[in-house]
Amino acid sequence: MDYNALANLLFPDVTAQPEDMENRFPQRELPAGACVTRIGPSPTGFVHLGNLYNALIGERLAHQSGGVFYLRIEDTDNKREVEGAVETVISAMSYFGVNFDEGAVSGGDNGNYGPYRQRQREEIYHVFAKHLVQRGLAYPCFLTAEEIDVIREKQTANKENPGIYGEYAACRDLSIDQVKENISAGKEWVLRYRGVQTDEYIAVEDAVRGKLEMPRNNMDFVLLKSDGIPTYHFAHVVDDHLMRSTHVIRGEEWLSSLPMHVELFGALGWEMPIYCHTATLMKMEGTGKRKLSKRKDPELALSYYQQEGISADSIWEFLLTVLNSNFEEWRIANPDADYRDFPYTLEKMSISGALVDLDKLRNISKDVIGRMTAENVYKNWLSWCEEYDQTFAELIKKYPERTVAALNVGKGGNKPRKDLETWKQACVFMSFYYDETFTVADEMPEECDEETRKLFFAKYLESYDHADDSSAWFDKVKTITDELGFAVKPKDYKKNPDQFKGSIVHITNMLRIALTGRANAPDIHEVSHVLGEDIVRNRIKNWL
């Protein structure tokens, strides 16, 4: 068989040689130990948590080592592509603070190793495809989907492994004339790798899983589809080699196709990148765990976290705790450090499927927002509101000073409050600071009847001096409490409930509900000073 003739028949227009590609995309000049990583999402319009999870690993590895982190769009499946999906990926990554050094950007590419969209790299793949044909390692296959179905049925009946290999690879040894004939008859063809029939094993060192042993590939898998676009397998090998990736980070669902990739790297004579197969994110259902599913679990979509207003930092910290078991300890030891200072390592990666624990995320989120300055909270919250809650955005822009002051409530001291979990919840929690959104949600305590209420509020207003400091203010509250026959010390009331109408707890609750509309809210004195004297007096007057 004249493989050269076959190659020219299949790829008449390809003149470039593999060396030309090597020269076009030279080795990167980076410091020793620098990692080059990437994410390769396919533009389906759906970005999952798993995408972000792998992105974080790549980002950390690259940027911790002075390397490069890039975005490659894996759009080889034109059937699945959704319009605008590339923008969706880019904006989601940007929302969560994942920054690329090069790769696909809105409207184009940025970097010297592009194009970064696989559909635009067709000519590059064809150079290597032709080269493989010339060496007898790849061949055109004219099998139709129906013919393949028949083969599969036969294999299943015989309890053999399904697939095109060995004797089932009907087009393996077509003569060049037969190929010519098929082509001129208009038959479609795919390019298949010529798999070696063997039962030997290969060993691959995975950076998170250690040594992996699996059977060597024996399949005649597809390299180029009938439209000339490569399959994932071929594109991955060519791209990660030419873009000079040092580490390939991907989900464990790729483990079973690893033998194909190893085979191709071998056939092309290239050094393999370091593989890092990460665990699948799981979810609790009933008594067991299961993989997060796109249809059933809204929390799989990144858009869910955006809509809920989970801050980008919270997601980072959450994923970091899942990714590296020592992150939490590090965080406790370094409460104020930037998470980017955490020394991330692949060795500390967990290999079993982690459960997405929304409770834990909430807890982390409270800490993260609690650590922010009021100004930063304001900024982040506002930018979320501008996207998802315009009316609240208007409101906090109308009262910026009051809002920042409100966000500062409870920040002082060494036990700062942690009231805010998400930006969405912040809109609920903060609503009492604005007359526009203020509502009385809770009932007055039953110990305070209408007469007590009117009496208390009248006395309170009368003695109220906005300039009082916290203790002067509270002394006045205590005085009125006593005058009304309520216990000044809660413990006294607890001991002798019959001697009092109630305790100061009920009195302050009543005051708190008048001011904030709810029984649970931050320090009354502090809140009053955020609201300002007019609002305080008005809200109390409503109860007279």
Partner RNA sequence: GGCCCGUUGGUCAAGCGGUUAAGACACCGGCCUCUCACGCCGGUAACACCAGUUCGAUUCUGGUACGGGUCACCA
Residue list 429-488, contact with RNA (CB under 7 A): 470, 474
212 near RNA, rule: CB under 7 A: yes
- Residue 27 exposed, middle or buried by CB count within 10 Å (0-12, 13-18, 19+): exposed
β strands within 90-232, DSSP E: 102-105, 108-110, 138-141, 190-193, 201-206, 210-215, 222-224
User: Which residue among 28, 172, 194, 289 contacts RNA (CB under 7 A)?
Assistant: 289
Choices 76-84, 388-396, 399-407, 430-438 (CB under 7 A): range interacting with RNA: 76-84
- Residues contacting 203, CB < 8 A, separation 6+: 211, 212, 213
- Count residues near RNA (CB under 7 A): 87
> At 234, which helix (H) or strand (E)?
helix 232-242
Choices 12-20, 57-65, 248-256, 452-460 (CB under 7 A): range interacting with RNA: 248-256
Residue list 216-235, contact with RNA (CB under 7 A): 221-222, 225-227, 229, 231-232
Question: Please, what is the Cα angle at 155 between 151 and 161, to 5 degrees?
Answer: 115
* Cβ-based nearer residue to RNA, 20 or 285: 285
* Cβ-based nearer residue to RNA, 81 or 101: 81
The structure tokens listed for 237 are: 């090998």
* Torsion over CA: 77, 192, 181, 131 (sign): positive
Alpha-carbon gap, residue 512 to 518, rounded angstroms: 7
311 near RNA, rule: CB under 7 A: no
280 near RNA, rule: CB under 7 A: yes
- Residues contacting 434, CB < 8 A, separation 6+: 395, 399, 402
148 near RNA, rule: CB under 7 A: yes
Q: Identify the three-state secondary structure at position 461.
A: helix
DSSP-derived pairing of the beta strands 102-105 and 68-71: parallel
- Nearest distance from residue 280's CB to RNA, in Å? 5
User: Which residue among 35, 55, 129, 279 contacts RNA (CB under 7 A)?
Assistant: 279
* Cβ-based nearer residue to RNA, 26 or 266: 266
Residue 466 DSSP class: T
The structure tokens listed for 270 are: 């290239």
* Cβ-based nearer residue to RNA, 42 or 393: 42
- Nearest distance from residue 387's CB to RNA, in Å? 26
51 near RNA, rule: CB under 7 A: no
Alpha-carbon gap, residue 422 to 347, rounded angstroms: 32
334 near RNA, rule: CB under 7 A: no
* Cβ-based nearer residue to RNA, 176 or 351: 351
* Cβ-based nearer residue to RNA, 15 or 211: 211
Choices 92-100, 131-139, 414-422, 446-454 (CB under 7 A): range interacting with RNA: 414-422
The structure tokens listed for 37 are: 């990583």
- Nearest distance from residue 289's CB to RNA, in Å? 5
> At 105, which helix (H) or strand (E)?
strand 102-105
- Nearest distance from residue 507's CB to RNA, in Å? 8
User: Which residue among 111, 162, 166, 517 contacts RNA (CB under 7 A)?
Assistant: 162
Query: In this structure, what is the dihedral angle of CA atoms 508, 513, 519, 525, given to the nearest 10 degrees?
Result: -50
User: Which residue among 25, 254, 270, 330 contacts RNA (CB under 7 A)?
Assistant: 254
Count how many residues are written for the chain. 544
* Cβ-based nearer residue to RNA, 388 or 429: 429
User: Which residue among 19, 107, 158, 159 contacts RNA (CB under 7 A)?
Assistant: 159
Choices 10-18, 23-31, 254-262, 381-389 (CB under 7 A): range interacting with RNA: 254-262
* Cβ-based nearer residue to RNA, 253 or 394: 253
* Cβ-based nearer residue to RNA, 353 or 388: 353
The CA distances from residue 301 to 285, 292, 333, in Å, are 18, 10, 32
φ/ψ (deg, to 5) at 4:
-65, -45
Choices 295-303, 306-314, 326-334, 534-542 (CB under 7 A): range interacting with RNA: 326-334
Question: Please, what is the Cα angle at 457 between 455 and 460, to 5 degrees?
Answer: 110
**Half-sphere exposure (Cβ direction) of 350: Cα atoms closer than 13 Å:** 18
Choices 62-70, 167-175, 361-369, 428-436 (CB under 7 A): range interacting with RNA: 361-369
- Residues contacting 426, CB < 8 A, separation 6+: 309, 381, 420
106 near RNA, rule: CB under 7 A: no
- Nearest distance from residue 291's CB to RNA, in Å? 4
- Nearest distance from residue 202's CB to RNA, in Å? 10
- Residues contacting 29, CB < 8 A, separation 6+: none
Alpha-carbon gap, residue 95 to 314, rounded angstroms: 12
- Nearest distance from residue 19's CB to RNA, in Å? 27
* Cβ-based nearer residue to RNA, 72 or 393: 72
